[in-house]
Chain A
Amino acid sequence: MDILDGLGQGFSVALDPTNLLYVFIGVLIGTVIGVLPGLGPTATIALLLPITYEIEPVTAVIMLAGIYYGSMYGGTITSVLLQLPGEAASVVTTFDGYQMAKQGRAGPALGIAAVGSWIGGTVSIVGLVLLAPPLADLAVEFGDPEYVALTALGILLVTYLGTRHPVKSLAMAALGLLLATVGQDLITGTNRFTFGSISLFDGFDFVAVAMGLFGVGEILYNVEKTEKAQALKSKIKDIWPSRKDFKDSSGAIARGSVLGFFLGVLPGGGGVISSLASYGMEKRRAKDPTRFGKGAIEGVAGPETANNASSTSAFIPLLTLGIPPNVVLALIFGALLLNGVQPGPQLIDQQPEIFWGVIASMAVGNLMLLALNIPLVGFFVQLLRVRAGILAAFALLVTMAGVFSVNNDVFDMWVVLVFGIIGWLMKKTGFEPGPLVLAFVLGSILEESFRRSMLISGGEVSIFFTRPMSGTLFALMALVVIWSTVQGIRRRRRRSRPSMPGEEDLAATGTTAEPEGTPGYENTDDAAGAPAGAPREGSGSTGAPGSTASKAQDGGPGPDRG
């Protein structure tokens, strides 16, 4: 299908009154949960999964996508006004955004963030339109060895990128892989770890696991910390940025759009890494880096643009390969499967209304957000007065009813509760649920593809290295491992000496931004609630996010080549 025809069809889907309503609901929910520190896009989408079952698949994805990119806008508001990142991807915005607010420039900070987000989103949509169809054509050629390479790369990156404790992440990823093996073995038909229980024949239900770990785990964790909303410190005026503001931030917005786009496509990438990388890049490029952290508008514009761009481009691997690059997309993947839609190379041809409809809805949704954000900032801030306990009780009720409604199976409710407690304990002990859930989703793809590759090759492992695409991907993986090891050694050596400019900034950002008890939350784009008003009680992390950013930039274009 021609791109123009596709877009035409997409807009006819997106502008359908029902879908228009759901775009609006999606971006509104997204903004609201972006503002509320207790709930992030991952938890919200996990909680809403069962509801999508009742609506058309395309409408469901339109709404969930709206929540995702909407939360990128919403998170900005509290970061700027209260130095309280509403969700993880907005952590860097607190550095300069809050300083701007203290100088009475909260308006322009929010304004430039909204405009930048809109531009980033739009650039990403254009990239998605131009890149996804050829990538889907290419993806048809992808065989099982390529899927093995891609999923392995995804799991590797998600445990490495932006993680303060790669070992903990690795342990969680391993647990995720193990959980993925529960149920009937596709190749031999034998049952594994089912203990004779028929409820486990199909393995753990992804929705139940995700709702437990993110939804209930998050709720429990937040209820523990009774955070009071702080009073609004500054008045918001002159939201529309001045000509000088635009001039100062135009470069940052342009770079942020491109950077965010590529980091979003990367497995394990997403909003948080993009915003960190963009902040680092702007600071490095600036003529006077000392302005950063004191209210430089580029420090708000760049990261906010990048996180929004990445939340759009993250749909590329999902819609063309059927591989979710990060946890939020893994949930959207689950929503599609729940509705009987198999995302993959066939999607564009067989269900063009979903592919193009979702893309077109993003264009519409981003416009809505621009319109919503500028006049309604004051209203959104009021939301912080809602007490966490009330919100939590309500969310828990919705979760339990919701998960039951998917399969009408009481067993799933137990799964949610058990994983909820596991998720809560994990958060308390500094383990991240992100790598676990992503490995759980990718694990079954990895295993099936690996074993099919073995069947096809007659047991020859060389199949992974002799095929050009999978060979390239495995080489890339080797590079990532070597690079990060070398970086780690160099950083340790350099510790006493002055470090590279970009790295130090991010080390500093890491120190202020990472709340205790939720280390490494920035790698997965979720855990949005994690900061939960504790941005300052950070512990002394040393430069981990710095290496994250540089690594991410390095590996950025990788998957596009693949």
Chain B
Amino acid sequence: MRRSRSTWPVLIAATTLTLAACGGDDGESTTGGGGGGDAAASDYPTETINLIVPYAAGGPTDLAARTIGSCLEEELGQTVVVENREGASGSVGMQAMIAGGNDGYTLSLIAVPASATNPLQDDVGYTNEDYVPIAAVTEIPSALIVGEGSQFTTAEEFFTYAEENPGELNVGVPGTTTSQAMELRRLAEEYGVEVTPVPFTGNAEMTTAILGGNVDAIFINSSQDVLENIDAGSFVPLAVSPAEPVDYIDAPTLAESGFEELTSSVSVFGLAAPAGVPDDVVSTLEETVDTCLQKDEVREQLGEQYVPDEFIDSEAFSARIDDIVEAYGPILQE
């Protein structure tokens, strides 16, 4: 889906507003940074851009960063250096980005919700006010999946059973502070449907657990390997997490299954910069990412199905983060 260019001025204005709004007491530094950047505004970028990936090389975020990084390099005519700074579920990389300065030459590929939920839970050296989301690159929904021979074939059967037998069903999740685990907690607290979340580390472990019948279901990021297992028939999807149905997974959304609020468990990988980055840098980058995401080779590398149908700009991306903070903040700060 291509968006007309004529909306740019509106977006820029909106971005400024968002920045000012979420910046709070950072407002001054935003202006300061913007002011300082004005001189160089028209010709950004003039030097090498560092793109920090807060996760390990070879992972999905790294792949997204390298794909978008090489496209930025092509479009902007400046070298983009991708650097992996993993650790503390992404917090180390976020700190490195913020320390890199807000002149627009240090960027990061953030993975929401983790980058937004980490500072809510612990003192990780940054807050959600310290960075500005620029544009989303990919969006990966979560899916509730059972194994091939499961007694459940629909979401309705599954949730009815769970409601009648609280805590009896074991559902694998990728970690205890992930959006998947938190959605299951909200399922219990807000809708009275109680399952036991069983935290694993990563998709490989969860896949083994469901194939071996050691858990009743898994609530998992529907990355490429999961889609392959669905195609092969060894995974049966019961429900997906986003607000809108997903055309490549044949299952209703959780909202359609009666849990209207449970729409936040979607991984969004996107570009971010330290707070105070000049507005025109943000808009240049927004525009470039949008261009990149329309290129066939970029879409193919990222996984066609994961590129958002509608471009998620800085404003929309910020709104997503605000929603997540609102939904998960109370749970995490318990």
Inter-chain contact B225/A186, CB cutoff 8 Å? no
Query: Per-residue CB proximity of B64-98 to A under 8 Å, as 1/0?
Result: 00000000000000000001111111011001000
Inter-chain contact B89/A452, CB cutoff 8 Å? no
Say yes or no for A191: interface residue by CB 8 A criterion.
yes
**Complex formed: what's the CA distance from A408 to B200 in Å?**
27
Given the complex, which residues of A lie within 8 Å of B225, measured CB to CB? 350
Inter-chain contact B170/A456, CB cutoff 8 Å? yes
A340-B59, A458-B167 as given contacts; A407 in contact with B86, CB under 8 Å: yes
Say yes or no for A345: interface residue by CB 8 A criterion.
yes
Given the complex, which residues of B lie within 8 Å of A202, measured CB to CB? 87-89
Inter-chain contact B85/A408, CB cutoff 8 Å? yes
Say yes or no for A144: interface residue by CB 8 A criterion.
yes
Inter-chain contact B170/A340, CB cutoff 8 Å? no
Given the complex, which residues of B lie within 8 Å of A340, measured CB to CB? 56-59
Say yes or no for A140: interface residue by CB 8 A criterion.
yes
B44 to chain A, nearest CB (A): 26
Q: Which of B92, B176, B207 contacts A187 (CB 8 A)?
A: B176
Inter-chain contact B87/A198, CB cutoff 8 Å? yes
Given the complex, which residues of B lie within 8 Å of A143, measured CB to CB? 209, 212-214
Given the complex, which residues of A lie within 8 Å of B207, measured CB to CB? 346
B175: nearest residue on chain A (CB-CB)?
A186
A203 to chain B, nearest CB (A): 10
Q: Which of A184, A196, A198, A456 contacts B198 (CB 8 A)?
A: A456
Say yes or no for A141: interface residue by CB 8 A criterion.
yes
**Complex formed: what's the CA distance from A455 to B199 in Å?**
9
Inter-chain contact A344/B208, CB cutoff 8 Å? yes
Given the complex, which residues of A lie within 8 Å of B91, measured CB to CB? 198, 201
Say yes or no for A17: interface residue by CB 8 A criterion.
no
A11 to chain B, nearest CB (A): 25
Given the complex, which residues of B lie within 8 Å of A198, measured CB to CB? 87-88, 91-92, 95, 124-125
Given the complex, which residues of A lie within 8 Å of B239, measured CB to CB? none
**Complex formed: what's the CA distance from A301 to B175 in Å?**
50
Inter-chain contact A346/B58, CB cutoff 8 Å? no
Query: Per-residue CB proximity of A131-144 to B under 8 Å, as 1/0?
Result: 00000000011111
B124: nearest residue on chain A (CB-CB)?
A198
**Complex formed: what's the CA distance from A201 to B124 in Å?**
9
**Complex formed: what's the CA distance from A407 to B83 in Å?**
10
A196-B123, A198-B95 as given contacts; A452 in contact with B198, CB under 8 Å: yes
A464 to chain B, nearest CB (A): 14
A139 to chain B, nearest CB (A): 8
Say yes or no for A189: interface residue by CB 8 A criterion.
yes
B167: nearest residue on chain A (CB-CB)?
A458
A186-B175, A189-B176 as given contacts; A455 in contact with B196, CB under 8 Å: yes
Inter-chain contact B198/A191, CB cutoff 8 Å? no
B7 to chain A, nearest CB (A): 39
Say yes or no for B291: interface residue by CB 8 A criterion.
no
Say yes or no for A250: interface residue by CB 8 A criterion.
no
A191-B122, A340-B56, A452-B198 as given contacts; A346 in contact with B175, CB under 8 Å: no
Given the complex, which residues of B lie within 8 Å of A484, measured CB to CB? none
Q: Which of A339, A409, A456 contacts B87 (CB 8 A)?
A: A409
Query: Per-residue CB proximity of B98-132 to A under 8 Å, as 1/0?
Result: 00000000000000000000000111110000000
Inter-chain contact A408/B211, CB cutoff 8 Å? no
Given the complex, which residues of A lie within 8 Å of B92, measured CB to CB? 198-199, 409
Given the complex, which residues of A lie within 8 Å of B213, measured CB to CB? 141, 143
Given the complex, which residues of A lie within 8 Å of B200, measured CB to CB? 452
**Complex formed: what's the CA distance from A448 to B84 in Å?**
27
A53 to chain B, nearest CB (A): 8
**Complex formed: what's the CA distance from A198 to B212 in Å?**
36
Say yes or no for B29: interface residue by CB 8 A criterion.
no
Inter-chain contact A186/B214, CB cutoff 8 Å? no
A57: nearest residue on chain B (CB-CB)?
B58
Say yes or no for A462: interface residue by CB 8 A criterion.
no
Interface size on A, residues (CB 8 A): 33
Given the complex, which residues of A lie within 8 Å of B196, measured CB to CB? 455-456, 458
Inter-chain contact A199/B87, CB cutoff 8 Å? yes
**Complex formed: what's the CA distance from A64 to B194 in Å?**
47
Say yes or no for A188: interface residue by CB 8 A criterion.
yes
A143: nearest residue on chain B (CB-CB)?
B214
Q: Which of B58, B87, B198, B212 contacts A455 (CB 8 A)?
A: B198
**Complex formed: what's the CA distance from A254 to B82 in Å?**
53
Query: Per-residue CB proximity of A14-39 to B under 8 Å, as 1/0?
Result: 00000000000000000000000000
- Name the interface residues of B203-222: CB closer than 8 Å to any CB of A: 204-205, 207-209, 211-215
Say yes or no for A541: interface residue by CB 8 A criterion.
no
**Complex formed: what's the CA distance from A38 to B170 in Å?**
51
Query: Per-residue CB proximity of B125-147 to A under 8 Å, as 1/0?
Result: 10000000000000000000000
A191: nearest residue on chain B (CB-CB)?
B122
Given the complex, which residues of A lie within 8 Å of B124, measured CB to CB? 198, 201
Given the complex, which residues of A lie within 8 Å of B177, measured CB to CB? 189
A456: nearest residue on chain B (CB-CB)?
B170
**Complex formed: what's the CA distance from A345 to B209 in Å?**
10
Say yes or no for B202: interface residue by CB 8 A criterion.
yes
B228: nearest residue on chain A (CB-CB)?
A350
**Complex formed: what's the CA distance from A515 to B207 in Å?**
47
Inter-chain contact A452/B202, CB cutoff 8 Å? no
B211: nearest residue on chain A (CB-CB)?
A140
**Complex formed: what's the CA distance from A129 to B256 in Å?**
49
Given the complex, which residues of B lie within 8 Å of A186, measured CB to CB? 175-176, 199, 201
A345: nearest residue on chain B (CB-CB)?
B208
Q: Which of A142, A187, A452 contacts B212 (CB 8 A)?
A: A142
Inter-chain contact B87/A407, CB cutoff 8 Å? yes
Say yes or no for A342: interface residue by CB 8 A criterion.
yes
Inter-chain contact B199/A346, CB cutoff 8 Å? no
Query: Per-residue CB proximity of A181-212 to B under 8 Å, as 1/0?
Result: 00011111101000010110110000000000
Inter-chain contact B83/A408, CB cutoff 8 Å? yes
B251 to chain A, nearest CB (A): 23
Given the complex, which residues of A lie within 8 Å of B125, measured CB to CB? 198
A186-B199, A201-B91, A456-B198 as given contacts; A140 in contact with B208, CB under 8 Å: yes
Inter-chain contact A456/B215, CB cutoff 8 Å? yes
Given the complex, which residues of A lie within 8 Å of B85, measured CB to CB? 407-408
B238 to chain A, nearest CB (A): 20
A54: nearest residue on chain B (CB-CB)?
B57
B167 to chain A, nearest CB (A): 7
Given the complex, which residues of A lie within 8 Å of B209, measured CB to CB? 143-144
Given the complex, which residues of A lie within 8 Å of B176, measured CB to CB? 185-189
**Complex formed: what's the CA distance from A62 to B314 in Å?**
45
Inter-chain contact B205/A344, CB cutoff 8 Å? yes
A341 to chain B, nearest CB (A): 9
**Complex formed: what's the CA distance from A456 to B199 in Å?**
11
**Complex formed: what's the CA distance from A341 to B67 in Å?**
21
Q: Which of B201, B214, B215 contacts A448 (CB 8 A)?
A: B201
Inter-chain contact B214/A339, CB cutoff 8 Å? no
Given the complex, which residues of B lie within 8 Å of A53, measured CB to CB? 57
Inter-chain contact A342/B57, CB cutoff 8 Å? no
Question: Which has the most chain A C-beta neighbours within 10 Å: B57, B199, B200?
Answer: B199
**Complex formed: what's the CA distance from A458 to B58 in Å?**
37
Interchain Cβ contacts under 8 Å between A and B, 12 examples: A143-B212, A144-B209, A144-B214, A185-B176, A186-B199, A188-B176, A189-B121, A198-B91, A199-B87, A342-B204, A452-B200, A456-B215
Binding site for B on A (CB under 8 A): 53, 140-144, 184-189, 191, 196, 198-199, 201-202, 339-340, 342, 344-346, 350, 407-409, 448, 452, 455-456, 458
Binding site for A on B (CB under 8 A): 56-59, 83-89, 91-92, 95, 121-125, 167, 170, 175-177, 196, 198-202, 204-205, 207-209, 211-215, 225
5 closest A-B pairs by beta carbon, nearest first, are A340-B58, A201-B88, A143-B214, A342-B204, A189-B176
Knowing that A143-B214, A201-B89 are A-B contacts, what are 20 other residue pairs whose CB atoms are under 8 Å apart, sorted by A's residue number? A140-B211, A140-B212, A142-B212, A143-B209, A143-B212, A186-B176, A189-B177, A199-B88, A201-B122, A202-B88, A342-B204, A342-B205, A344-B208, A346-B208, A350-B225, A407-B87, A409-B87, A448-B201, A456-B198, A458-B167
